[in-house]
Structure 1
Amino acid sequence: MPYKQIAIALIFLLNFSGITVFANTKSPNKEEVTQLAKEANKQMKAGNFEKSLIQSRLALTYAIALKDDNLIATTYNTIAANFDQLSEYEKAFFYYNKGLTHANKTNNDVLKNWINNNLGNIYCFDKKQYEKGIYYYKKSLQYSTKTHDSAEIVFTKLNLTWAYFDIGRFEEGFPHLKYINKHHKKHGDESTIVALNMLNGMYHSYKNDTQKASFFFQNAIKLGTEGNEKSDLSYSHHEYSKFLFKNGDYENAYMNLAIYNQLTTQLNNEEKLNKANVAGINLEIDEYKREIDKIGNDYKTKEYLLIQEQSRNKKIVIIIILLLLFFFFLFYIFSENSKLKQKNKIKDIQSQLQQNTINASINGQELERKKIASFLHDNISALLSSAGLHLNAFTSQNNTNAEEIIKTKTILEEAHDQIRDLSHELMPTLLARFGLFYALEDLCEKNSNSVIQFKYYIVVPSKTRYNEDFEMKMYFIIMELLNNIIKHSSATQANLTIQENNKSLKINIEDNGKGFDTDKFYIVEGFGINQIKARINNLKGTIAIHSKLNLGTIVAIEVPITYQKKTTTPVFPSQ
């Protein structure tokens, strides 16, 4: 049966029964459903169980639609309470549990207190499962204590006392009884006064205080007879009969037991009558229950599907966000990488410009060195030689040995020697005439002395010649490295080794000096290494420097050889 038809049928039944409900079939709001639930509870307290159940069922349907756990728990509690009053304890138990499930999702501690207490009643007095009943009573007591409801505290402690005494655990129940005796007058209820007197009688019977026990039992029976609580009066006669039997008063014990049996029979008959009266109601209500439970299940299914869909949508959104973040991250990395490449490119260009500047400066220096050496040798030295010849001719013709002329000849010879030495230093004669290897051998020999010895090892024929420019550059690179050894290493021996390998010239320079820390090499001044590296880079070669403190230094150079294109003539004439 569709949801709308069920609602219309329920409304028709309620109106037919004289109960006013909503005039239209539109789903009511929360306030209207709350009012309907209150009306159902009111009908239950008035004993109109049929009307209460129909109203509470309808309220439950709307509460489920509103997804309001508090309203759902309240209506379940009312439905359960109706069945509890009709002695349908299994149904009451079922709905109390459903109500507690929803109540636990709310902050309604008052409702939690009621439901836990009612479950405790069913466990203790119907199912006879006292441990579970005591558990729920204690839960109820926690909530009533939390809400500071003194009347509920007294009521729950009364139930706890009864449960403990019913299974003979008097010492555990006595603290609760003591609390009730102290606070019942102020916070208790007249409906519980019979039970309180009976419990006091039971405790004093347990303590063998017959006088007090008899007083409380008789008081409980008197108050029960004056009131309408047949159930409490029945229990009072039963407990009093056990007390009398225990103390040997068998006649009165049997008399009270007979009254208990009579009252119990009346209560059972009333219960059967109630069940007969509500049999038709139960059939109708069971039909509504199935339909409404179906609606509830449909709502749960839809809610579950909605939650699943929301979960899928949430996952999709998270995946999209993660993908966007991933692509943004990739874009950022790409952008930063491009910037880094651009910066590195600029650095490379700047480095190349700097390298080109250094190379141009070095090439310029070497060209100037060559030009100056050539100019000094070919011009200044020649002029000085010519001046000396003319002076010698003059002295021979005039047969004079004037002191001034002798000094002039000496000055001219000294100037000629110095210019020649300077010229050879700028461009060694051996390098120009005989090549790199003879020049290096001569360089090692000249730099050797009593302090340091330079050993020269070569596995290439000494007469081998390379490109003149290549030889000149390699000569001055090696000369600068040997000068560094002399100036900075404090070495006593150094080895210069030269060999060819795959059209490359391999040069090793090793000394036994004090060495240095290569990690701090950049702070060492005066080595001229940057210019040496620049020269080697200009020749497309490599240089590696290995050094340790007090263990000497090894410099390894490898440069591609530039061979002679044609035979060159010496730059200088022999002297």
Structure 2
Amino acid sequence: MPQQNRIIFSFLLLLNLFSTCIEAKEKIPSKEKITFLAKEACQYMKEDKFEKSLVKSRIALHYAIAIKDDNLIATIYNTIGANFDEMSEFDKAFFYYNKGLVYANKTKNYQLRNWLYNNLGNIYCFDKKQYEKGIFYYKKALEYSTKIKDSSQIVFTKLNITWAYFDIGRFDNGYPYLQFINKHHKKYGDESTIVALNMLNGMYYGHKMEREKANLFFKNAIRLGNKGQEKSDLSFSHLEYSKFLLKNGQYQQAYENLATYNTISAELNNEEKLKKVNVAGINLELDQYKREIDNIEAKYQTSQQVLIERQYKNKQISVIIIASLILIIILFYFFFQNTRLKQNNKLKDIQSKIQENIINASINGQETERKKIASFLHDNISALLSSAGLHLTVFTSQNQTPAQEIVKTKVLLKEAHDKVRDLSHELMPTLLARFGLFYALEDLCEKNSNSAIDFIYTSTLPTKIRYNEDFEMKMYFIVSELLNNITKHSQAKKGTVTIREHNESIHIHIHDNGKGFDTDKFEIIEGFGLNQTRSRINNLQGNLTINSKLNSGTSISILVPVVH
């Protein structure tokens, strides 16, 4: 956003500057030069050089207004609107597209009118969510693309209309347009719309309950999306496929596709910023250390060469001086090696911190998605299932002998509701959200206890104490992961979880009487799960200590500053 604000500020500054220039007499360039300026602005926009594009656009617009060329004015307004559209400044884009349309309607440039109506339709449908207006503008665009017989633009516009109708559930209205696209896309379409076309076919056949066809089209959309560069169409394909799978009771696959949609959406929002920060930072550090090492090596090689030359020139130097020189060389060598080792260690530390930051970013993303999905399941899906069950209950109460299918449907709805509720609680435990960390940990010990292993929970702190919500969630999943490791790998019969607070830090001690392991080989056996746990604790400015011996159990101590 700071970059976009800077561009907008520069653009507004130029508006004032060129408004002042209008009052002064100046030489107006030819129409050909103004057209060239407008094309330059459009090219800069395609290269994502928005600031340069807006500057060129404003200069071209000033001259186009001076020569009163409606076609040029409309074209430049469209370019300005497209710049703001690319920067997600949709209100500004909407304003300039409308201004462009005013001038375009004074011309016979039907292709430009088609572009502007399509752009305005996109904003109405996908930003303002005013689908009826959006569809109206798409149909106006279709009129002009039909007049100029632009087959590829006709296919593209009908694809937009289909998407808009399907997005609001009006499949019968959108299907004639989909039929046309299916018939003509191979000849007039392009690779940028093939993913969306497969997704729309999947949505239609999913609506018609033709599961095999819907599955085939959704999978084609995802397969083609993974090969292409347009991640937004791929993310929507996963979202719509998730809705279809959920509708058909395939909850696991629905969840997986919803998770993939969330992941791709997060990548689309964050990958540019992360790429700039992380890659630039890493390259800067590596270049800095490489320069330092090269300088030291150059100095060392120069000193070595001087010493060799002196040895050749001074053959009659006494044995004591030669020994001294050799000693100096050895000391210098060790000093150089020590310096290089320190620099290599620094570089490794930086790489380790970068890796840890990546892991922490991944963990934070997972926890955020847990909360979102749990909230979505609890507040939306669970509520819908409950409502459906209630309606069936009212129906069966009014009919003395309800149909067997109705009874079975009630049972299936209740089972689905229970599964959604259990999944929601598994993603974000209710006890943790409502009553806090200590209630949740005590319940966690009880849930993990069974006939094979018994977990005993002990705490010196009142269970009603609450900490920061994010802190409680991180600590809960850390302990949950450690208990899960004990259950899977330790072969223990008994485990204990002891909690106390000291000097504004929470101390959690976890012990089991399992088979243990050799801590000398800890680095070798340490897995990604334990790496994640260590990274979580480091991110909380805490410490993790592990003590274990073969056949003597394992003790894990966690000390983390409290976040109230």
User: TM class, shorter-chain normalised?
Assistant: 0.3 to 0.5
Give the TM-score, by structure 1 length. Answer: 0.44
Give the TM-score, by structure 2 length. Answer: 0.44
Larger Rg computed on CA atoms: 1
